[in-house]
Amino acid sequence: MARNFLLLSAFFFCFSFAFGQSYTISGRVTDNSSAGVPYASIALSKTSDTSVVQFAVAQDDGSFVMKEVKAGEYYFVVACVGYDVMHYPITVFENKNDIVLELPSGTLSMSEVLVRARSIPILMNGDTVVYNSSSFKTQSNASVEDLIKKMPGIQVNKDGTVAAEGQAITKVLINGKEFFGGNVQAATKNLDAGLVDKVEVVDRKSDDDEFSGNDNNQREKVINLVLKKETNRGYFGTLRGGYGTDDYYDASGNINFFQDATQLSIIGGLNNINRDLYGWREMSTLNSFEIRPFNGDNMSWNWNTGIKTNKGVGANLHFEPVKGMKADIAYVVSDVQTLQQSTNNSEVYLTNNTLFSETETDGLGIKDNHQINTKIEYEPDTLNRIVFRGQFSKMINDGFTGNRTANFYTEQDIINSGVNRTDVNEGNDNFATKLHWTKKNRKNTDNYLLASLYVGGANNTSDVSTYFNTVSGYLLPKPTTENPKLQKLLTTQESTIATTTGYQIKLNDKWGIRPGFNWMQSDYSHDFTWIPEGEEILTSNSPKGTVKARNMEYYMHISYKVDSFTTLYIVPELNQSIETRSFTTDKLYTYDFNQFFFIPYMFIRSNKPHKYNFHFNLRAQLQRPQVSQVLPVTDNSNPYSTTIGNIELQNNMNYNNAWSYRRMFGLGKSISLNGWNSYTINPVTNSNRITEDNYSISEVLNYKNRIYSNTGFEVAWPIKAIKAQMEFDIDYNFNQAYFIQNGSELLSKNNGIAAGPSIAFNEFDMWSLDADYMLNYKVGSIGGRTNNAFVYHEIDLEFVFTPIDRIEFSNTLYWEIYGSNSAVGAISIPILSSELSVFIDKSQKWSVGAKAFDIFNKNQNLWRWWSNNSFTQNQNIAVQRYIMGTLTYKINTPAGRDQNSSEHRRHW
């Protein structure tokens, strides 16, 4: 109750700023010829202490408006790249309109403007927005994520992803160089905000376009963190540790060494409180270069739910050994142990009635992963650019699951029950490399060759032992150490080689073409052994064989530059797919085909910095069935769910489009529409024969179509009167698919709509408040019969209070409220956490604190979904509560060399 009162008081306290007499100031920023200066930065500062009261960025015509300005003595600080910085005094005692602020022409660079106008919090220069970190107050223990949350125009989502002006940030650089392969969360969550001098948000070309000089409006958003001079050479980092009740612990840290072009960074941590180790989640340097023609479906055991114990460490080295060469090498090792205790409730829709099913599961999984990423860029001269990317990973899965399932029409009348225990040990080695070469034409550098070579492969081993028992009516106890009734041994190998060749020809300022050819060859071998208890190898279920695939793609890339902001692309492509499948069990199964597919691709991009961005694309993709689906065997190891493979499954076409439009009206002000649609012809689906006892036999086949669709609308707008940022989101999603049940065709449809507002107060020195609410409604239907709609609420509050620089208190409440339906009951999951941090030395390197965490429902991990003929809810255990003491130490040791080196300049 006290906490709620504090939040409510803080909320109404900030609203009081809206009251009292205030005035509006408007005018224009002009040059010597009275023409408007677009995107000029205007800061209104108090003459008494030079603190910035308000800040604005001029519109295209140089106009600006400042509202809710209290009476007093101020001065304007006006700055723009290419002009002198000017100071204009102003006395406010009434509304003032038509103020003219003239900027004399000059030759000042961005760095010089920022030095001469330190009170300017934001400076815009073409496609770059520069934020002065000193203008945004953060707590002494703040991370880069905490800092950029306060910057208008930058959004940090709940999952840690970052966007600027509505576009996702694809990578984070430090002093212009990639940090941990550009991994966003490795930088935002691990680096200390106090190290950063400036944050640059850059709307930049791709590396290839930057080298070739191409300007087709294909842009990516990146953040470049410019460090303070004293940290450009030396050691810096942060070490954190905590220990609490019930032996809960949480330790993490990072240390960095920067000297000239060399950067070495190490991050690591260990905890048993379910906190992910940020920075090495899918730290791939290959991006879209990795080719997985067989979908990589062999590693079927994932331990992603339950209570996790995380351990890991990673290192990244950036260096420039010779002129024109930049190299990055990253190595990551992680160990994740997951304890699983879950309950799964399903409502299964049969032909004539509805069956309920409940499964209780216990499990323990251990996943060890080693990963090495490399990236080497080399420009030996102005005509050639060579990029090598490589990735190697080694993963080991080891663990077991045991579950008990009951099927019933009423909870008092169990039809049958079964128990299952599965022990698994799996290993997976993967490697992927790509060499990419761009060569400009010596006589006409607008024309250039693009060529690449990809080589990749994988080796997988799997040893799975299964025990299963089922009876009628009686509910069996959960299995513990039963002897396996079946052992399944699997070894697979996969190798892929692919080449890409294209030649870009610039016909004129508007038109360009790129004829090209792609070729891929993939070979996959499968050796599976099925050994029932006390018997010989069951050859009918032990396929050994290969899948060989060849793909040729012939394409013509046509581009048309509509204007300086807009480019249209049309890419007609002819795909020839040749595949041979051959498996031997107790007899030989073979299937091969040679198919041609027309694959159209069209997209349009239009991007005017700080005004709008728009893109629309329409393309087709060839999809292959998974190897496990084409195996010509029957898997009845779980009698409740027997599956039958189909070696004659066809490749199928997926047509999809995505679009988005965002209109910006200034920093933090935007309206956006976005959506995507997917339509698959002849997808792989199921034909199920299901009994009244919930025993099913499922065969896979190509059938009809599948549709997915999502549409979203978002408004973001700052309210200066209360110093808050408001947002409102609404999303709608829809999907439908066909399947066959007991010989009848059924159409499954699912719909969901979500809407809600959010408000953030991040401009106050002593406190901040973020509040989000989202209302979700989800409903599904199968065979025209509506079933199991439910309402879902999400409430998220975060309050941070800093009475003085050396003390910080934060409180968060995340509350999930699920409505009931015929399959499951209503569930409420409030999650409350608090943290206090106090610096104990004048230099603010050491801090002590305490954390408290409490879930008033142990099942934090809860999901609900529809699939084929059922609605399902799964809930898993999570860390429930703890109190933890914490200790933090900041490392900042400048090198003993001269620090008066030239200021960092970007080189992209």
List, for residues 109-118, the tens digit of each pLDDT value: 777 787 777 7
With a cut of 80, say whether residue 291 has pLDDT above it.
no
DSSP string for 18-36: G-S--EEEEEEEE-TTS-B
Per-residue confidence band for 154, with pLDDT thresholds at 50, 70 and 90: confident
Give the lowest-confidence range in 218-227, 286-295, 450-459, 629-638: 286-295
Higher pLDDT, 297 or 629: 629
Residue 904 to residue 229: CA distance in whole angstroms: 9
Going by C-alpha positions, the residue among 830, 720, 827, 16 that lies closest to residue 345 is: 827
**Tokens encoding 534:** 């006390």
Does residue 148 sit in helix, strand or coil? helix
Percent of the chain with pLDDT over 90: 50
| Amino acid type, 336 | V
The DSSP bridge partners found for residue 360 are 343, 404
Measured CA to CA, the distance from residue 119 to residue 132 in angstroms comes to: 8
Give 111 or 265, the one with higher predicted confidence.
265
pLDDT in tens, 228-241: 877 666 788 889 99
Q: What is the C-alpha separation between 228 and 239, in angstroms, rounded? A: 20
Q: Is the dihedral of CA 443, 445, 449, 454 positive or negative?
A: positive
- The letter for the amino acid at 166 is G
SS3 615: strand
Span 659-682, average pLDDT: 91
Taking CA atoms, 66 is separated from 57, 58, 782, in Å, by: 10, 11, 56
Q: Name every residue whose Cβ is closer than 8 Å to that of residue 874 and which is 6 or more positions away in sequence.
A: 305, 342, 343, 344, 345, 862, 863, 864
Residue 788 token pair: 């199991």
pTM, two decimals, is 0.85
At 436 the three-state DSSP class reads: strand
Confidence of residue 803 (pLDDT cuts 50, 70, 90): confident
Reported confidence tier of residue 140, pLDDT bands at 50, 70, 90: low
Specify the pLDDT at position 427: 94
Q: Are strands 448-472 and 413-440 parallel, antiparallel or unpaired?
A: antiparallel
Average pLDDT over residues 164-191: 80
Percent of the chain scoring above 70 in pLDDT: 91
Could you tell me which residues come within 8 angstroms of residue 288 by beta carbon, excluding any fewer than 6 positions away?
none
Residue 29 has pLDDT above 90, yes or no: yes
pLDDT at 488 over 50: yes
d(CA 154, CA 854): 31
| pLDDT score of 672 more than 50 | yes
Residue 294 pLDDT class (50, 70, 90 cuts): low
- DSSP strand E in 353-383: where? 354-378
* pLDDT score for 6: 42
| Greater model confidence, 176 or 575 | 575
For residues 776 and 148, the model is more confident at 776
The more confident residue out of 397 and 260 is 397
Q: Is the pLDDT of residue 245 over 50?
A: yes
Asked whether the CA dihedral 292, 293, 298, 304 is positive or negative, the reply is positive
The pLDDT tens digits of the residues spanning 509-555 come to: 899 999 999 999 999 999 999 999 989 999 999 999 999 999 999 99
Query: Is a pLDDT exceeding 60 seen at residue 463?
Result: yes
**CB-count exposure of residue 182 (10 Å: 0-12, 13-18, 19+):** buried
Give me the pLDDT at residue 292, please. 57
DSSP code for 112: H
For range 853-881, the mean pLDDT = 87
pLDDT range class, residue 648, cuts 50, 70, 90: very high
Give the DSSP letter of residue 128.
Answer: E
Extract the tokens encoding 771.
Answer: 């509040």
Question: Span 767-792, mean pLDDT?
Answer: 90
Q: Which residue, 685, 686, 693, 687, is CA-closest to 640?
A: 693
When pLDDT is averaged across residues 842-870 and rounded to a whole number, the result is: 86
- Rounded to an integer, the average pLDDT of 635-654 is 92
> Quick one: tokens of 201?
């948000």
pLDDT digits (tens, 9 = 90+) for 588-625: 999 999 999 998 889 998 988 788 889 999 999 888 89
Helix or strand or coil: residue 210? helix
- pLDDT score at 900: 39
pLDDT at 297: 44
In this predicted structure, what is the pLDDT of residue 609?
79
Per-residue model confidence as pLDDT tens digits over 703-737? 999 999 999 999 999 887 788 889 999 999 999 99
Q: Which among 258, 266, 126, 274 is positioned nearest to 202, based on CA atoms? A: 126
Per-residue pLDDT of 30-73, as tens digits, reads 998 889 998 889 988 888 777 788 888 888 889 998 888 888 89
- 5 pLDDT higher than 60: no
Q: In this model, does residue 379 exceed pLDDT 70?
A: yes
Residue 473: exposure state from Cβ atoms within 10 A (0-12, 13-18, ≥19): exposed
Q: What burial class does residue 309 get, using C-beta atoms within 10 Å of its C-beta: 0-12 exposed, 13-18 middle, 19+ buried?
A: middle
Helix, strand, coil percentages (3-state) for the chain, rounded to 5, are 10, 65, 30
Closest CA to 620 of 596, 652, 657, 654: 654
Instruction: Tell how strand 612-623 and strand 669-681 pair up.
Output: unpaired
Confidence tier at 2 by pLDDT (50, 70, 90): very low
Going by C-alpha positions, the residue among 709, 708, 652, 656 that lies closest to residue 681 is 652
What are the tens digits of pLDDT across the range 180-215?
767 787 788 878 888 888 899 988 777 777 776 666
Mean pLDDT over each residue of the chain, to the nearest integer: 86
Section 2-27 average pLDDT: 55
Q: How confident is the model at residue 213, as a pLDDT?
A: 67
Confidence of residue 16 (pLDDT cuts 50, 70, 90): very low
User: What are the strands of the beta sheet with 96-102, ordered from one edge?
Assistant: 63-69, 23-30, 96-102
pLDDT tops 60 at residue 583: yes
Residue 286: pLDDT band (50, 70, 90) is very low
The CA distance from 23 to 571, in Å, is: 56
Compute the average pLDDT of residues 743-752. 92
- Position with higher pLDDT, 595 vs 140: 595
pLDDT in tens, 302-346: 444 789 999 999 898 999 999 999 998 989 899 999 999 999 999
Question: What number of helices (H) and strands (E) belong to the chain?
Answer: 6, 47
Q: Pairing between strand 669-681 and 634-635?
A: unpaired
Classify burial at 489, counting beta carbons within 10 Å of its beta carbon; exposed 0-12, middle 13-18, buried 19 or more. middle
